[in-house]
Amino acid sequence: MSNPQSPRPSATAYPILLILLILCSLFLAPSLHASGKKDSGNQDTLNNEWILCVTAFDFSLLPPSRRIAGDIITRNLVDKFNAVNYRLRISPEYAYYEGYAWQQSVNAAARALSQKQDERSRLLYRGDPEWRYRNSLRRVDADIIRLQDDFNMKEANKPLINREPEFALLQANKTGTFPAPPRPGAERSFCMTQRADAFLTGEIREFHGRYYLRLRLFTLYTNSFVYEDDIIFSLDDTDGAINEIAARLNAVLAGSRPALVAVNADPPDSQILINQNYAGRGTVETRERPPGTIIVAVAAEGFTPQSVETELIAGEITTIDVTLSPLHYADVNILVPDKPGAAVYMGALYMGEAPYTLRLPIEQLSYVVVESGNEMGKAVFTSPDMPDEMMDVPFRTRVPPPSGEKRVNKARNWYYWTWGGTWIAGITAWVTHGMFTSQNEAMARGGYFDPEFFNNTQALSYISTGAIVAVGAIVVYKFYRLGRYLITATDNVTPIIKQEKPQ
């Protein structure tokens, strides 16, 4: 009996199979693509929230009966912050958070790599069999290579920071709790402890029957107070005042568009400071700044320094051109007639020996000290007001008084004691003289003679006369002590010397 043959597929089955394969590929293709690596353009951002901490406002200067009004004002102001949804970060703020996040990422990768390298070193001391040691070593080396690549990648690529983070209040503020403000100098650590990007502090006090509200905003990225505002209002105008000051503050919290500023200074080697921070020399290219008032200071050797204050407006470019004027000089002769060869100091800088000629800018206030042995002389003077003019400044030297405040304190205390003694003696003299006058008039009108009453009146006469004499003596002594106090207090004061132009 022959084996039965296996059935063959008919010719119509091949097109059906082909159609099924095409349909499967169409359904599976999207899922296969989705399981691949995520596009780098969709990288997750960091710092997606900007947290504000509102501290407890200072009500200490409010009367106790009005402090509850201060608490209501605070809570109404905080409620206005709900109008802020997000914050727009300008370049300096973005750079701060970018650098901070990059440093944290690199440090974490470095710690992981260091721990894995330590683990490799410990394999030698575990006493594992040869085969287990080689397997563990192979596994650890593979982890080290992976962690090294991860470290290199994080070191080379800075993380992406959210440029428009969501604005939020500190969780404690949402429940009506306001932490105490930090002491001066501890603002940055306070923000780090509260995990906040900024904190708002305020003061509410009474002002001639009205309320005075003052606000200050500290931001972590600037490490300084960047905003200050105040308003005076009556109790009836509370809602309007809160709306007004909250609108200005909300604009700052939302982070308006940055302003742009550029500085051109002449001469080209001038040093340029913007808000007391070094910005460059000669020319400062256009850079972003928060809107508000800035002070640009320009200085160069041999030129008169100049400062410019201007207001930066969000979204606008402000160009500041500063041209410094050359300094004009005059000669000042430092003379010490009784001590030739005395050392001459310009402030704390040694210049030479007297007589000495200083070349100073015109109309400049200068402080000069001369020293000879244990004697010293000092003076403040203004240089001539015309170029190439000459003036003489004579000095007199003497042994300086002992350093410290004890001499002045002693003289002050003596004066205060004599001042108090004058009042005591004056009151005593007034009372005793009044008693003597009353008894003397009573004795004159009495018409009879009482020896005991006469003796009492005579004693009061002596006491009154003595008290009046004591008042006069104490007054004279008080003026002596007053003069002594004034002389001692001004003994070491730097004199101001007027110009003496050579004939």
Instruction: Report the predicted TM-score, pTM, of the whole model to 2 decimal places.
Output: 0.43
Domains 259-323 and 329-394 share a fold: yes
As given in the structure block, the two tokens for residue 118 are 């330590």
As given in the structure block, the two tokens for residue 214 are 């003052």
Whether the Cβ atoms of residue 160 and residue 13 lie closer than 8 Å to each other: no
Range from 82-86, 105-109, 303-307 that averages highest in pLDDT: 303-307
Checking if the pLDDT of 202 tops 80, the result is: yes
Q: In what order do the strands lie in the sheet with 356-361?
A: 356-361, 329-335, 390-394
The arithmetic mean of pLDDT across residues 328-332, rounded, is: 85
Number of Cβ atoms within 10 Å of the Cβ of 106: 16
**From 3.30.465.10, 3.40.50.300, 2.60.40.10, 3.30.1110.20, which CATH number describes the 329-394 domain?**
2.60.40.10
Whether the Cβ atoms of residue 97 and residue 45 lie closer than 8 Å to each other: no
Of 391 and 308, which is predicted with more confidence? 308
Range from 163-177, 247-261, 473-487 that averages highest in pLDDT: 163-177
Look at strands 259-266 and 283-289 and give their pairing: antiparallel
pLDDT in tens, 422-473: 888 888 888 888 888 887 787 777 665 677 777 888 888 888 888 888 888 8
Tokens 């000290």 belong to which residue? 369
Closest CA to 327 of 346, 300, 349, 308: 300
CA 352/CA 296 separation, integer angstroms:
36
Closest CA to 379 of 388, 390, 369, 371: 369
Tokens 């004027």 belong to which residue? 325
Using left for φ > 0, alpha for ψ between -120 and 50, and beta otherwise, residue 47 falls in left
Residues facing 318 on adjacent strands: 261
Q: Is residue 131 classed as helix, strand or coil in its secondary structure?
A: helix
Mean pLDDT of the chain: 80
The pLDDT value given to residue 182: 93
Q: Where are the domains of the chain?
A: 50-254, 259-323, 329-394, 406-489
DSSP letter for 369, please. E
The pLDDT value given to residue 14: 45
CA 60/CA 65 separation, integer angstroms:
12
Checking if the pLDDT of 85 tops 70, the result is: yes
The arithmetic mean of pLDDT across residues 8-37, rounded, is: 42
Whether the Cβ atoms of residue 337 and residue 394 lie closer than 8 Å to each other: yes
pLDDT in tens, 36-50: 333 334 568 888 899
Number of Cβ atoms within 10 Å of the Cβ of 415: 21
What are the C-alpha distances in Å from 105 to residues 52, 85, 89, 163, 492? 24, 28, 21, 19, 59
Checking if the pLDDT of 29 tops 50, the result is: no
> CB under 8 Å to 382, separation ≥6 — which residues?
363, 364, 365, 366, 499
Number of Cβ atoms within 10 Å of the Cβ of 101: 17
CA 53/CA 34 separation, integer angstroms:
42
The pLDDT value given to residue 11: 44
Burial class of 250 by CB neighbour count within 10 A (0 to 12, 13 to 18, 19+): middle
Closest CA to 173 of 89, 51, 269: 51
Residues facing 378 on adjacent strands: 369
The pLDDT value given to residue 192: 92
pLDDT in tens, 98-120: 887 777 777 888 888 888 888 88
What is the four-CA torsion angle of 409, 414, 418, 424, rounded to 10 degrees?
A: 80
- H-helix or E-strand spanning residue 432: helix 406-446
The pLDDT value given to residue 321: 93
Which amino acid, 130?
Answer: E
The arithmetic mean of pLDDT across residues 280-306, rounded, is: 85
pLDDT category at 9 given cuts 50, 70, 90 is very low
What are the C-alpha distances in Å from 264 to residues 8, 82, 270, 360, 417? 91, 42, 10, 28, 63
CA 204/CA 212 separation, integer angstroms:
6
Burial class of 346 by CB neighbour count within 10 A (0 to 12, 13 to 18, 19+): middle
User: Residue 267: is the preceding peptide bond cis (ω within 30°)?
Assistant: yes
Question: Of 119-123, 286-290, 306-310, which gets the smallest average pLDDT?
Answer: 286-290
The pLDDT value given to residue 492: 65
pLDDT category at 203 given cuts 50, 70, 90 is very high
The pLDDT value given to residue 118: 83
pLDDT category at 500 given cuts 50, 70, 90 is low
Closest CA to 258 of 229, 217, 287, 222: 287
Domain 259-323: CATH superfamily, name plus number: Carboxypeptidase-like, regulatory domain (2.60.40.1120)
The pLDDT value given to residue 313: 81
As given in the structure block, the two tokens for residue 9 are 């597929």
Tokens 């004199």 belong to which residue? 495
Question: Which DSSP string corresponds to 333-392?
Answer: EEE-TTSTT-EEEETTEEEEESSEEEEEETT-EEEEEEEETTEEEEEEEE--SSTT-EEE
The pLDDT value given to residue 290: 66
pLDDT in tens, 117-172: 888 888 777 777 888 888 888 888 888 888 888 888 877 777 888 888 999 999 99
Longest CA–CA span in the chain (Å) reads 183
pLDDT category at 229 given cuts 50, 70, 90 is confident
Checking if the pLDDT of 193 tops 90, the result is: yes
Question: Between vectors from CA 48 to CA 289 and to CA 50, what angle results, nearest 5°?
Answer: 55
First to last CA, the chain: 152
The pLDDT value given to residue 498: 67
Number of Cβ atoms within 10 Å of the Cβ of 195: 11
As given in the structure block, the two tokens for residue 283 are 């020319």
As given in the structure block, the two tokens for residue 126 are 């575990």
The pLDDT value given to residue 323: 93
DSSP letter for 42, please. G
The pLDDT value given to residue 191: 93
Question: Of 35-44, 168-177, 371-380, which gets the smallest average pLDDT?
Answer: 35-44
Of 193 and 244, which is predicted with more confidence? 193
Question: Of 67-71, 193-197, 218-222, 269-273, which gets the smallest average pLDDT?
Answer: 67-71
